[in-house]
Chains A and B, each alone.
Chain A
Amino acid sequence: MTEHDLIARVLAGDQGAERTLYDRYVDQVWRMTWRFAGDSDRAADWTQETFIRVFRRLGDFRGDSKLGTWIGSIAVSVSLGGLRSAKRKVEREVPIEAGANVADPGPRRSDADLGERLHRAIDQLAEGYRSVFVLHDVEGYTHEEIGQMLGVTAGTSKAQLHRARGRLRESLAAFARTTGD
């Protein structure tokens, strides 16, 4: 079934087509939401919300991008909204043990490996940088696709990626100095 036929059947109320659309894109949506969420509970919530919006808005899909890119834009939007909500909650819930170290986490453990440090540095990137970095360098989307997902130009996406990589290099350089590498 072509993408066009699938959309037409979903819009006509064909429940089998709805399931086909879901099956075709659930892996993509799950991967994207999981990359942003970092846990299955939130990824499941965001995947659910993404498909609810997809089915609600499918009639607005113009067809000038791939359906997967359009669905991806909704998944990104849902994920970023969820991250912002989670950030607010974390800011209000401070474990008593960590209270003294909220502003400054202190010296890094010397045995922390590069992967852990890199992943932590990605977590700490600003939202725009992190989004583009995850979508481009981790998930492999093109700048044109990322631009369509985020509502920015491909040039903006490239600039954001450049800055994200710069920030990561800075973080890793600081890590190397701390561990004496």
Chain B
Amino acid sequence: MTDDELDPNLTKIARAYHQPPEPPREQLWARIAEARKTPVTPLRSPWRRALPFLIPAAAAAGILLAFALGRMSVRPAPIIAGRSGVTVHGPAETPAPTLAQRITTGDHLGRVEVFLTGFRAEARSGRSDTVAPEEARRLLAATRILLDSPGGRDARIQPLLEDLELVLAEIAQLPAEAGQDLNLITTGLDRRGTIARLRSVVPTGDAPVLQGES
């Protein structure tokens, strides 16, 4: 107990916040079983094929990024729902990622690749990098932001970002004397091919750019 705690009465009221009913267990299990039959969309090679065409565009990355940030700050006109309950829908909810957003995503994935490659090398050599958890936390925060961005919702990138979210969270929680944990993480990285998958979407060079659909 500290003097920071809420009044006991308030805490009691807070515990009624969004009080859940009993879960529909069988219905949920049926949904999960059905959904698991659907295969996950794999990463495809077009990322690599179009890189030569995108490299010139990367030179303008800074300008485009600033432009994209400006665009993102302009919200679409709100949808008006009348008393009749009829709602007029606007443009598609999830816009395709812009070039600048793909650049940002590519840049982030490049940083994660460098970090994980270094982390794996350190771990295999038996050295424990005390900076790793802090860096992992920083990259984890950026990964979560990207997961919520149009670039992160790309069907080809989302599974990779989700894997990165998990592995970065694991590294972020490493104790000072990690020992066996390091081996487990690097084993997981190898088994899931995480770094290889990162390299398949991140080109070499100073300005990584990911290709979009359009």
Q: Do A and B bind each other?
A: yes
Interface SS of chain B: helix
**Which residues does chain A contribute within 8 Å of B11, judged by CB atoms?**
137
Closest to A74 in B: B166
How many pairs of residues, A versus B, come closer than 8 Å at their CB atoms? Answer: 139
Minimal beta-carbon separation of A5 from chain B (angstroms): 18
**Which residues does chain A contribute within 8 Å of B168, judged by CB atoms?**
151
Closest to A35 in B: B18
Is the beta-carbon distance between B18 and A36 smaller than 8 angstroms?
Answer: yes
**Which residues does chain A contribute within 8 Å of B28, judged by CB atoms?**
26, 30, 44, 47-48, 51
Is the beta-carbon distance between B32 and A122 smaller than 8 angstroms?
Answer: no
Is A62 interfacial (CB-CB < 8 Å)? yes
Question: Of residues 167 to 191 in B, which have CB atoms within 8 Å of A's CB atoms?
Answer: 167-170, 172-173, 181, 184-185, 188, 191
Question: Of residues 1 to 19 in B, which have CB atoms within 8 Å of A's CB atoms?
Answer: 4-6, 10-11, 13-18
Q: What 1/0 flags go to B70-91 for Cβ under 8 Å of A?
A: 0000011011111100010010
Minimal beta-carbon separation of A48 from chain B (angstroms): 5
Closest to B189 in A: A60
Closest to A166 in B: B4
Given contacts A52-B36, A93-B81, contact A44 B31 (CB under 8 A): yes
- From B17, B20, B75, A30 is in contact (CB under 8 Å) with B20
Given contacts A44-B28, A48-B31, A52-B36, contact A92 B17 (CB under 8 A): no
Question: Of residues 35 to 90 in B, which have CB atoms within 8 Å of A's CB atoms?
Answer: 35-36, 40, 75-76, 78-83, 87, 90
**Which residues does chain A contribute within 8 Å of B167, judged by CB atoms?**
60
Is the beta-carbon distance between A38 and B83 smaller than 8 angstroms?
Answer: no
Q: What 1/0 flags go to A58-98 for Cβ under 8 Å of B?
A: 01101111000000010001001100110011011111110
Is A23 interfacial (CB-CB < 8 Å)? yes
Minimal beta-carbon separation of B17 from chain A (angstroms): 5
Is the beta-carbon distance between A77 and B165 smaller than 8 angstroms?
Answer: yes
Is the beta-carbon distance between A115 and B181 smaller than 8 angstroms?
Answer: no
Closest to A158 in B: B4
Is B213 interfacial (CB-CB < 8 Å)? no
Query: How far is A77 from B21 in the complex, measured between Cα atoms in Å?
Result: 21
Q: What 1/0 flags go to A138-181 for Cβ under 8 Å of B?
A: 10000000011001100000000110010011001000000000
Is the beta-carbon distance between B23 and A26 smaller than 8 angstroms?
Answer: yes
Is B93 interfacial (CB-CB < 8 Å)? yes
Size class of A's contact patch? 35 or more
Is the beta-carbon distance between B32 and A48 smaller than 8 angstroms?
Answer: yes
Given contacts A52-B32, A73-B169, A94-B80, contact A60 B162 (CB under 8 A): no
Minimal beta-carbon separation of A142 from chain B (angstroms): 14
Q: What 1/0 flags go to A23-40 for Cβ under 8 Å of B?
A: 100110011001111101
Question: Of residues 95 to 151 in B, which have CB atoms within 8 Å of A's CB atoms?
Answer: 137, 140, 144, 147-148
**Which residues does chain B contribute within 8 Å of A115, judged by CB atoms?**
13, 16
Query: How far is A52 from B93 in the complex, measured between Cα atoms in Å?
Result: 24
Is A6 interfacial (CB-CB < 8 Å)? no
Is the beta-carbon distance between A43 and B32 smaller than 8 angstroms?
Answer: no
5 contacts between A and B (CB under 8 A): A19-B29, A92-B90, A115-B13, A118-B14, A152-B137
Q: Contacts A60-B170, A62-B181, A122-B14 given; 12 further ones with Cβ under 8 A?
A: A35-B18, A40-B24, A77-B144, A92-B79, A93-B78, A93-B81, A122-B17, A151-B137, A151-B168, A151-B172, A162-B4, A168-B6
